[in-house]
Amino acid sequence: MLLLLNGCTSVGYYGQLASGQWHLLRAREPVSEVIADPSRPQALRDHLRQSQKARTFASQQLHLPDNRSYRLYADIGRPFVVWNLFATSEFSILPKTHCFPIAGCVAYRGYYGQGAARGEAALLRLRGMDVSIGGVEAYSTLGWFNDPIMSSMIGWGDERLATLIFHELAHQRFYVKDDTEFNESFATFVEQEGTRQWRAVRGLPAVSASSLIQRDQFIQLILDTRQRLEVLYAQPLSVDAMRQAKTAEFERLRSEYRQVRDSQWAGDKRYDKWIDAPMNNARLLPFGLYDRWVPAFAALFRQEGGDWLKFYGAVEQLGGLPVGERKLALVRLEEADPVVGR
């Protein structure tokens, strides 16, 4: 159990991982029993009923693992199952990584209690590091346990619940040790394409093009900022000069965001809360990890004719390459694709 999640070598940290996972396993109960129980809230039963349709679709149509994962439910009594702590050096966009023999190295550290995550973040700040904490609704144990639908996954509606199921089952379908960018981008693509197909099979219209364009433009602004910071941090500047330049880059991000928002999005403020919050390197990490290779996987999916089994086979071939060759292959997929090529 201890080997499955990200962490450090301290006994206390391993202890909270073991305790948190054990309590989660004990809280599981069959979804079918919850749905059949009239004493349970009707809204919960309705959400779970819809979730099982998405779960069946995931295995039958998306060819994701067919097991008891997400056929179980766990009420965890909190808004997030874990809080992930991201950290970087003051002048780096590279994450502080944490390694396990089975799951490999990951770019964050998870805590079952928000207070514990904040405490560790405070210690890292004292060491001069940039830190960011984000709540997580779900995670995958990579097939080692039957992962449940958790109460933290319910609150955002049926479609969001379906996307989480697609994403986490994708991790069970294929996972490469020591490559968070590859794993999360792969799962994000499966989530997005799976959701598109899930909407289509139910006769629902596609998500509006304007919403998708806004999401992609917002992510690209952040990825561009990451690239500029990478160049900046390689410069031979004094500490004071580097800090000033770093601050200027974050202000440039905010300025470019507002320009795009006001000129192209008709003033839509959906990302204002994120952009106006205090900024540092660590806050940018999830975007690079979860989105960097999504266009490459989309190109590969088209290359395989939209056939999920052929796509997974091609993904497995990519995952078997040495990391340098793997990244080069992903870049080539992007560049060769007429939709995303540049």
pLDDT at 59: 98
Tokens of 50: 């819809």
51 and 169 assigned to the same domain: yes
24 and 164 assigned to the same domain: yes
Please tell me the total count of domains within the chain.
2
pLDDT at 220: 92
250 and 160 assigned to the same domain: no
Task: Supply the range of the domain harboring residue 318.
Answer: 209-336
50 and 141 assigned to the same domain: yes
CB atoms within 10 A of CB 44: 16
Name the domain boundary from 147, 173, 199: 173
- Beta partners for residue 88, in sequence order: 95, 130
122 and 231 assigned to the same domain: no
Query: Does residue 249 lie in a domain region?
Result: yes
Query: Does residue 186 lie in a domain region?
Result: no
**Contact by Cβ (8 Å): 108, 117:** no
97 and 228 assigned to the same domain: no
CB atoms within 10 A of CB 273: 8
User: Which helix (H) or strand (E) is 98 found in, with range?
Assistant: strand 98-100
Q: Cα–Cα distance between 134 and 286 in angstroms, integer?
A: 9
pLDDT at 10: 66
Query: Does residue 198 lie in a domain region?
Result: no
Query: Does residue 204 lie in a domain region?
Result: no
Query: Does residue 199 lie in a domain region?
Result: no
pLDDT at 100: 63
pLDDT tens digits for range 83-109: 999 999 999 999 998 876 566 788 888
65 and 138 assigned to the same domain: yes
pLDDT at 341: 52
pLDDT at 8: 39
Residues of the chain with pLDDT under 70: 1-10, 100-103, 340-342
Tokens of 324: 């340098």
150 and 34 assigned to the same domain: yes
